[in-house]
Amino acid sequence: MSRESYREMLDELRENVLYLGELVEGQLRDALDALVDRDERLAQRVVQTDDDVDDLFLELESDCVDLLALQQPVAGDLRLIVASFKILTDLERIGDLAVNLAEYATGVEYTVAPDVDVQRIGETVLENLSAATDAYAAEDPEQCFDVAAADDEVDAMCETASESVVRSLVVGDGVGGPDVDTLLSEVSRLLLTLRDLERAGDHAVNVAGRTLFAAENDDALL
């Protein structure tokens, strides 16, 4: 294989990873909208889209293996392929978390802790994911560190929100509220929502960390 063809394969890999990132970002946005608006039809579309994400993930994972096995890359090319391989996994897992969030949008019976702003947390995670894939596209080390710093805000918001959920359960006056089983179900749903948003944010940081390693051979964010 000519050097030119090899470079084209690497460029195509990067473009395809970014395309998967766009799919997953859209999936996560739809899941957040479904969750906030309690839109069961949109939630179902998120679940159905996950098959496309999984199929593309497997295809691109195979491409990475072929590049490693057949081209025996070294130095920066090797780091790029390995980082891309790992980033694909992080993106696929964000897609899985989006499916979880979409499923939480169905069958909601009661709102606990109304002061918890799930939409704000989700929007911050989406911004971080977009910034992480932008950093990958541009091989921008500074932006990688910005993503990691911004995730601290996500963690803080999730911790505060979780405390608010627990407080509402303990302090609730029990007047006009749901029965105990419904209350516990909705508390569990909200806590799982916060957990999965935080995990999606962590995977966005992973994308940034692997990008930094590929670009600078720097494992500070890994």
pLDDT value for 175:
44
Between the alpha carbon of residue 10 and those of residues 19, 70, 160, the distances in Å are: 14, 13, 43
Which pLDDT band holds residue 13 (cuts at 50, 70, 90)?
very high
Query: Alpha helix (H) ranges present in the chain?
Result: 3-37, 40-71, 75-104, 118-138, 141-171, 180-216
pTM of the predicted model as reported, rounded to 2 decimal places: 0.94
List, in order, residues 6 or more apart from 41 with CB less than 8 Å away. none
Rg (CA), the chain: 20
Into how many domains does the chain fold?
Answer: 1
Q: How many CB atoms lie within 10 A of CB 171?
A: 7
Distance set, CA 13 to CA 21, 133, 162, 182, 220 (Å): 12, 14, 39, 47, 24
- Find the angle CA(221)-CA(133)-CA(84) to the nearest 5 degrees: 70
Residue 222 counted as domain residue: no
Quick one: DSSP state of residue 105?
A: T
The per-residue pLDDT for range 55-83, each reduced to its tens digit, is 999 999 999 999 999 889 999 999 999 99
Q: What is the CATH number of the domain that holds 17?
A: 1.20.58.220
* 114 within some domain: yes
221 DSSP 8-state letter? T
Q: Is residue 221 part of a domain?
A: no
Say which DSSP state 107 is in: T
- Indicate whether 147 belongs to any domain: yes
Read off the pLDDT of residues 154-211 as tens digits, 9 standing for 90 and up. Answer: 999 999 999 999 888 887 654 456 778 888 888 999 999 999 999 999 999 999 999 9
Domain span including residue 89: 3-216
Residue 202 lies in a domain: yes
Q: Is residue 120 part of a domain?
A: yes
Which residues contact residue 52 at a Cβ distance below 8 angstroms, ignoring those fewer than 6 apart? 23
